[in-house]
Every structure is written in structure tokens, then in C-alpha cells.
Chain A
């Protein structure tokens, strides 16, 4: 695959309102830089993230999807992230089975206090996706940007 130096991946981050979105806000409050590629979608809980959303993002041309939630045991809704963990593990395993690059998907637990972790995670994830190059395996050609 040709490596495009100027490739700027589109990264969709689903963040739960209580921990990870607050963590993202904290990294802003602390002025911790991470790449502009990351765009956050606020969801009440990581368990709101339907696998359909992830596939949809890839189909529409996202190059990486990351889901962030409260640490296991700290879910604002008690158990939401435990369900997330099972669903997403199975989905990621299936995507892997279908030959989709593993580094395009990620799940990370980020608490409201972990602004630094949020920034570092996004930095790393963006780099990983950048290294993979554009998502060609799951996108819908009709959605491709010119």
C-alpha cells in the first residue's frame, strides 16, 4: 500500500458523557494537545454505541473508530460498560475475522480525571491509523471524498 505523507485520517470517537467526555473536556482545560483528526460524538454511556454506528462510520469513510467509556466498575449506570466490553470485543473480533485492520478500532477506558490519558490515547490512536493509511476495506465507494 502506498503511504501518503499528507494523509489525514478521519477519526470518530464515541465518548460516554460521564467519564470519557469529561476526560476529553479535562484535556482541553489542561490544554493537552491531540490531533484535530479526532471528532467526538457524545453518548450517554458507551453501551449506547451500536455496532451499526461503527460500521456506518467506516462505510462513510472514517479511517478509525474509537470508543471511550468509564472504567469497568465505574459506569455511571452500573453495568453499561460491561455490556459494551462484550459487544465490542465480539464486533472487533468479527472485523478482524473479515480481514479488517485491527488498529482501526479501539476501546479505551478513560475516567473524568484522566485528561492526560485521553490526549495520549487520541495521539497514539491517530498515529496508528495514520500508519495504516486510508480505510479502503470498509468504505462505501460512493461516499469517498474526491
Chain B
């Protein structure tokens, strides 16, 4: 005979304000098998849990139903409480009467009625719950970091520091990411390269870190503690192990008209190239789209000058497969394309640039050697207009609905640097709001205004028109003065919105992690688990999760590393016991279940059965590996005979819930 306890939570007024909790407890007390039905202010509190524990012991409960918030919130809390009182944790069911009842309904009568039905449904299910025991599964002591920007580098360094092997997969020929392209960093104005490149070198020299540059993740299988990842090492046509990075090939290469990605296409590089001086690994890469040898078979200069004999025009993509216990995603961001913003004339006028292009124009290793010159005529600009929020905070299909977060600060930085270096230059910043929440951030912005005399104008630029004299007419509104301005500018800098890297979406599919509508990875909990994805063993680092500046990125990178280390430290992890199992007596051995299993958890064995007439019969039957099964239940529906069932979500349990709702 079942002895079920029902506990209804007020959640302060969160539930009690719209659900008559007393009536719910009273009504559920009359359900079959229920021996105790109580309500309490906060069930999840220490004393609330104590109430449940005492009832389990005193009433010898065989099942517990908690009517409270979402099971995604406190299922574990109550399972632990039950376990500590000696009840199998899987004999606890949660009826979600907060998120799915009190918070969405206003009428007390109907909300109470619904809460009773939800409670009744949980009672009906718990009648059929069975005690479950978790299995243990071993953890591979190696982590994979996808993306080699500052986020990936920091995560890898921290994990390696803790004594675990880490692999970094970077799609570009070098690690470093966006930070390598940045000139100075706010709010301290120290040089980005000076603080980044030592970290890059550290990563390359750390014996626990393996860098797979110019590589991509091709396939991910497995689950937390035991992922199998296939990494595609793209052919760079240079033997990484032989190349010394001397750079002679890049000097001698006759094909020098290739747009230089590192400098945002503002100058050119050769067909065989090393992205920048401090690249890690410092290895040349041949761009097959431009290499004359690859295209026409005529040239081979690099091969001739390479004393190491590293050039290999016949190199193919190769694949390596590796096991990992944890995966950290650090795929970063890109500025959006501005093709759709005709009003800013970005595509018509070379002197209208994005902020990232400005970084390169001002960088000592950039196309102008650090002197800020107009891209069109290499002249010194006297008037520069900055436009904020280009594509950010947009409610249309052209832009992004979110604030890109970093633009206010880097624009203040640019304005300040320009005024510092070229005091004869007038700098205008058109802003909607200046957002500077961060340590020393607002002070930094105020310095730009007060100390450097940058003209901050509240308003937006409506139209940018290149003129025949090489100047640019910037038409804008000054909302505080109530006028429409025309500024005769030399350069316009657009603070383009940032978006997640395009590789993130297919990666999320491979990792079975969730993304939001903007393709940012979704964290397991927006407040309490910001660096974990909802998929166990997958962690999030840096701007792939949302717009971030460098300090925040590094903080999150270390946090993700800490979470990954926490996982790798364990020798084994407890598996979800809600897995599939096959009733051998009913199994036909038809292989339907095996075909739909995404984890390959099902195998077949020939098993001998004793028949009623005492003869024996050998039949092929399915067998589920509970450590591999993740409990999706695809097999249970594919199984024609109903031999396959899912613990915790069994056919009879779900049907009991259906019946209780329809009653």
C-alpha cells in the first residue's frame, strides 16, 4: 500500500497570492494513497525540508509530491532531502504550481483548480515511481577548448595550471582572436598585444596544452565525462613540424595582392603568409585561392626558398579523434556586416570605417605603421565623427536587438587616443545613451569629455554623404540643442554591432547545446549558472555567450575553467538513472530501437529462455548500456512490442498523468 505525502509550498506570496494553497492541500489529502497533506511558507527552506524529512520518517512515506516551483528549480533539493530521510530520491515528484500556474493565472478559483489537477497528476505518477539507483561513469581527464581567442587561451591556461591536458582548436592559422587585432585596451590604455602575446606564448609552451590551429571541430559524440571529438586539421600546405617561421617565403612570394584579414583588408599580404609577427604557432600558411602554384602549377618560389623543406602543395585535410571529459566553447564574436546601412555610406566611401578597422589604422603594426591617416588619400584627418549603436539596439531585420556593450567604452578610448595624439583633430561622438557600467568606466568616459574635449552629442547620425572634395557630410540631430547638424568630416567611424561567430550555430547543433534567437549560447541558468550550458560537460567562455569586454571575458574564461576543472577532478560522475531498459521477455530483437538511439547505447545479445514446456529457446534481445543511455526515450516509441521503457518516465507513469489530467 502506498503512503504518499503531499507538501504544498506558498513560496511566500508567489504561489499563495493566486492559488489557495490550503484548498490544494485539503483536496490532495483526499487522493488515493495520500496519508499526509500539508502546506508551508517556503518548502525549499531548511525548515520546509525538515517538514518533509520528518513526515517521511514519521509517516513511513513511500512517495512524496511537492507542489512548488518548477522541477528545474528545486527537484534536486527535494530529492536530496528525501534521500537524507531514507527515501529513494526518485520517489519524489514535483507539481509545478508556480511557473505553470500561479504566475500565469490571475483568477484564484481557476488557478486553484488547476493547481489541484497538477498536484493530482503528480500523485498519480508517484504511485508508479520506482526506486532508482544512479550508475557511475568514468571521466576522461582531458579538456577541449573550442576557439583560441583570449577567452579560449585563458580557459586553457587555467585548466592546464590545474594539471589537466587541454587541446585548443582554433579555426584561424594563429590563436589570439580579436584581442590580437586591438590596439589599446580600456580603461587603462595599455597595449593589447603587450598583455596578450605573453599569454599566447605561455599557451604554446605549456606542455599540457596542445594547440590545433587552422582546425575545426567536425563531429562530437558522447556525453559528459566522455566526449569523442573529431577534429579536422585543414590543409595549410606547410608542414607545421618543419616550418621555423622564418618568414622568408612570405617575403619572396610573388603574389602580394591578397587582402590582409588581420588588418581588416586595409592592406595586402602575400599568398603564403604568417598573420602577424607574434602569431602562435609561428607557422606559414598558403592561401590556395591566391597561390599561383596551387592555381596554375607555375611558381613554387616558397618551396625553393624554404630551407626547412616545409612546403607541401599536396597536403590534405586530416582528421584526428580524441576523447575529452569536458568541452569549453569560446567561439567569440565578429562585427556585423554593414552592407544594409546605405545611409552611412560604408560601402561607398573608404573613409567611413568600422571601429575594428580604426584599431588597425591606429596600430603600430597596422597598414600605416601607427599613424592615423585617411584610407582614401593617406591624409591626416582633422574632423572625425563617431557613430554609436550602428546595428545595435535595432528592432528591424537589419540589426541586432541587443546592446553590443563594448562600443561606448572603445569609442571613448578611440576619441581619447586621437585627441591625445593629434590635438588638432576635432572628434564628435553621436550617442543615444552612454553606457559605462564597470570599474573605472564612467571616470574614463568623463576624462574623454572633460580632459580631452571630445564633443559628445546626444543624437544620431541620419545620413553620411561623401562629397566631391573628399570631405564627408555628416547630417545628424543634436537632440539637446534641438537642431539638425551638418558636420564637414574627414572620417566617420561606425561602432558596428557585434554578433556571434558564424561557426557557433553548427557547433551548437553538434554539441546539442541551446542558443538564443541571436545565436548566443544559452547558459544553464541566467544568474546562477552563467558559464555552464544546459548540456552537462559543456561550458561557455567569453563572447559566445553574450557581448563582453576583455576583463569580463577573462573572468568568465577562468570561471568556465574552474567548472571544467571541477568536473575533471572527479574520477567518475553519477549518471542519470532515468534511462531506458528493455524487458527481455517482450523484446523481439527487431533492431528498431538501435536505429533511433543517438548514443549507440543499445546492443543485442542472444539469450536463452526457458519455455513453459521446459524446453529452451535462444532469442536475440536488446540490452541498454545505462552508462551510455541519456534517457531521451526515442527507443521506447520505436519499440513495437513495448518492451523498451524509460525509468522515471515510464509508459504507465505518463499514461497515469494523462488520465489524471483528463479525469
Q: Is the CB of B512 within 8 A of A44?
A: no
Interface extent on A, as a size class?
35 or more
A143 with B105: in contact, given A40-B100, A77-B512 (CB under 8 Å)?
no
Q: Is the CB of B662 within 8 A of A62?
A: yes
Q: Which residue of A lies closest to B71 (CB)?
A: A42
Q: Which residue of B lies closest to A63 (CB)?
A: B662
Decide yes or no whether B136 CB sits under 8 A from chain A: no
The proximity string for A residues 41-84 relative to B, scoring 1 for CB distances below 8 Å and 0 otherwise, is 11111011111110011001110000000100111111110010
Q: Is the CB of B72 within 8 A of A41?
A: no
When chains A and B are docked, how far (Å) is the Cα of A28 from the Cα of B98? 7
Stretch at the interface among B245-253, B255-263, B625-633: B625-633
Q: Is the CB of A45 within 8 A of B634?
A: yes
Nearest CB of A to B591, in Å: 15
Q: For chain A, residues 1 to 20, give those with C-beta under 8 angstroms from any C-beta of chain B.
A: 10, 12, 17-19
When chains A and B are docked, how far (Å) is the Cα of A112 from the Cα of B508? 14
When chains A and B are docked, how far (Å) is the Cα of A111 from the Cα of B514? 8
Nearest CB of B to A3, in Å: 21
A32 with B104: in contact, given A50-B637, A56-B655, A112-B534 (CB under 8 Å)?
yes
Q: Which B residues touch A129, using CB under 8 A?
A: none
When chains A and B are docked, how far (Å) is the Cα of A127 from the Cα of B599? 40
Q: Which B residues touch A57, using CB under 8 A?
A: 658, 661-662
Q: Which residue of B lies closest to A145 (CB)?
A: B663
Q: Which A residues touch B663, using CB under 8 A?
A: 60
Q: Is the CB of A47 within 8 A of B632?
A: yes
Decide yes or no whether A109 CB sits under 8 A from chain B: no
* Residue of B111, B121, B634, B661 contacting most chain A CB atoms (<10 Å): B634
Decide yes or no whether B76 CB sits under 8 A from chain A: no
Decide yes or no whether B193 CB sits under 8 A from chain A: no
Nearest CB of B to A15, in Å: 9
Q: For chain A, residues 87 to 143, give those with C-beta under 8 angstroms from any C-beta of chain B.
A: 87, 111-114, 119, 143
When chains A and B are docked, how far (Å) is the Cα of A62 from the Cα of B98? 23
Other-chain residue from B117, B517, B633 in contact with A113 (beta carbon distance below 8 A)? B517
Stretch at the interface among B270-278, B371-379, B443-451, B646-654: B646-654
A53 with B655: in contact, given A12-B662, A39-B114, A48-B632 (CB under 8 Å)?
yes
Total B residues in contact with A, Cβ cutoff 8 Å: 53
A19 with B636: in contact, given A28-B100, A60-B658, A143-B662 (CB under 8 Å)?
no
Decide yes or no whether B501 CB sits under 8 A from chain A: no
Q: Is the CB of B598 within 8 A of A25?
A: no
Q: Which A residues touch B638, using CB under 8 A?
A: 83
Other-chain residue from A18, A25, A34 in contact with B534 (beta carbon distance below 8 A)? A18
Other-chain residue from A25, A49, A76 in contact with B100 (beta carbon distance below 8 A)? A25
* Residue of A42, A61, A74 contacting most chain B CB atoms (<10 Å): A42
The proximity string for B residues 73-104 relative to A, scoring 1 for CB distances below 8 Å and 0 otherwise, is 00000000000000000000000101111011
Q: Is the CB of A77 within 8 A of B114?
A: no
Q: For chain B, residues 261 to 297, give those with C-beta under 8 angstroms from any C-beta of chain A.
A: none
Report the 8 A-B pairs with minimum CB-CB distance, sorted nearest first: A28-B99, A48-B633, A77-B632, A60-B662, A28-B103, A25-B99, A45-B632, A47-B634
- By a beta-carbon cutoff of 8 Å, the part of chain B in contact with chain A is 70-72, 96, 98-101, 103-107, 110-111, 113-114, 117-118, 121, 508-509, 512, 514-517, 522, 534-535, 578, 596, 598-599, 630-634, 636-638, 646, 649, 651, 654-655, 657-659, 661-663
Q: Knowing that A22-B72, A29-B103 are A-B contacts, what are 9 other residue pairs whose CB atoms are under 8 Å apart, sorted by A's residue number? A: A12-B658, A21-B72, A25-B70, A25-B72, A28-B100, A33-B105, A57-B662, A61-B662, A143-B662
25 pairs, CB–CB < 8 Å, chain A vs chain B = A18-B534, A22-B72, A25-B100, A27-B99, A28-B103, A34-B104, A40-B96, A41-B657, A41-B658, A44-B578, A47-B632, A48-B633, A48-B646, A50-B651, A52-B651, A53-B655, A56-B655, A74-B509, A76-B632, A77-B599, A80-B634, A83-B637, A112-B514, A112-B534, A143-B662
